[in-house]
Amino acid sequence: MGISRILAVDGGGVRGVVPAIVLQRLCAEPSLEGWLDRVDFLAGTSTGGLIALSLAAGIDVGELRALYEERAAYVFADSFLDDLKDLGKLLGADYRVTNLEREIHRVLGDRTLAQLGKRVLVPAFDLDSEAVTERSWKPKLFHNFPGEDSDGDTLAYHVGTATAAAPTYFATFDGYVDGGVFATNPSMCALAQTQDVRIPADERANLAELRLLSLGTGRSLRYIEGKTHDWGYVQWVRPLLDVMLDGVNGVAHYQCSQLLSTRYHRLAPTFPPGRHIGMDAVTDIPYLVDFASRLDLSTTREWLHANW
């Protein structure tokens, strides 16, 4: 039987606590008991990739939430000496990628993607294909579906670190950076994967039977005032990164909506005007917990009842 139920989770750094709490709340609904167990394909980018890999490894959603609340400060730990070496962040990443790798390894252990309990897809971006011909950078979609391009032998924590290595926040990991540079919302990537002719026919999905739940990590109402911005590299580098990571979400949402209609549902909450929460905003985690705990999930709950 092919894939029938997909859960996809966006990137967003510490904002990953929002979908973690949403999942926890939905799992606590008596009328939705066991709905998460019926997911047969998990996709996630960056922090969403960590959620997808963790759920596929059998980690409970309550434990997943606790990881954000208790361990995020270790991932986004900075030091005066590091800032001094990096000339106040002008040179060098904000945080050590080894901290990120250590925490992900602690959660996922030495499992390979093939040893996970569910199918997964996790985007990252390869900065050097090292190909003999047409050497270039390229998107990379790690997955554990059978087939000639399977990444089943790859360590899950390596994939988790690669997808979460956001430019300027962390150094690259094994030549990869955050998959959010092309797929912050991995929903369409997951949908396309279910149609790949290279995987066995019994693993491919029938679009007419497919259901896809997409979870965002919280959207800030941001804008750049004015009609003309004569900026150079220094002025654009961080705003452009945020524009790039946020801007692709709507494209994937549109594509999935057109292909699946009512069999696709996206929960993408928006923060109040003036509230911007960066990927490394560890001090805002209590606010994020309260925000996620107060979200109205009635529409999502009704969609799960009708479609899951």
What's the Rg (C-alpha) of the chain? 19
Q: Evaluate the CA torsion angle 31, 307, 184, 127 in order and state its sign.
A: positive
pLDDT of residue 245: 66
Task: Specify the range with the lowest mean pLDDT, choosing from 4-8, 57-61, 88-92, 295-299.
Answer: 88-92
The distance from CA 258 to its chain's CA centroid, rounded to whole angstroms, is 22
* Interatomic CA distance for residues 180 and 166, integer angstroms: 8
- The torsion of the CA quartet 19, 21, 22, 24, rounded to 10 degrees, works out to 120
Q: Distance between CA 61 and CA 67 in Å, rounded?
A: 10
Sign of CA dihedral 121, 103, 220, 235: negative
Q: What is the pLDDT of residue 145?
A: 96
- Residue 240: CB atoms within 10 A of its CB come to 13
Beta carbons within 8 Å of 50's beta carbon, 6+ residues apart: 16, 44, 104, 107, 160, 163, 164
**Over the stretch 119-132, which tens digit does the pLDDT of each residue have?**
999 999 999 999 88
Q: Model-level pTM?
A: 0.92
Are 268 and 297 in contact, with CB atoms under 8 Å apart? no
Whole-number Å distance between alpha carbons of 99 and 92:
15
pLDDT at 277 over 50: yes
CB contact at 8 A, 297 and 22: yes
- pLDDT digit string (tens) for 45-99? 999 999 999 999 999 999 999 999 999 999 998 744 454 444 455 557 789 999 9
**C-alpha distances in angstroms, 254 versus 30, 187, 192, 210?**
32, 10, 14, 16
Evaluate if residue 212 carries a pLDDT over 90: yes
Give the amino acid at 279. Answer: M
Higher-confidence residue of 89 and 37: namely 37
Strand segments, DSSP code E, in the chain are: 5-9, 41-44, 119-126, 138-143, 176-178, 211-215, 264-267
| Identity of residue 251 | V
- What pLDDT is recorded for position 103? 96
Range of lowest pLDDT (43-57, 226-240, 281-295) = 226-240
Q: What is the amino acid identity at position 280?
A: D
Cβ atoms of 159 and 151 within 8 Å: the answer is yes
State the DSSP H helix or E strand holding residue 176, giving kind and residue range, or none if neither: strand 176-178
The phi and psi torsions of 256 (rounded to 5 degrees) equal -65, -40
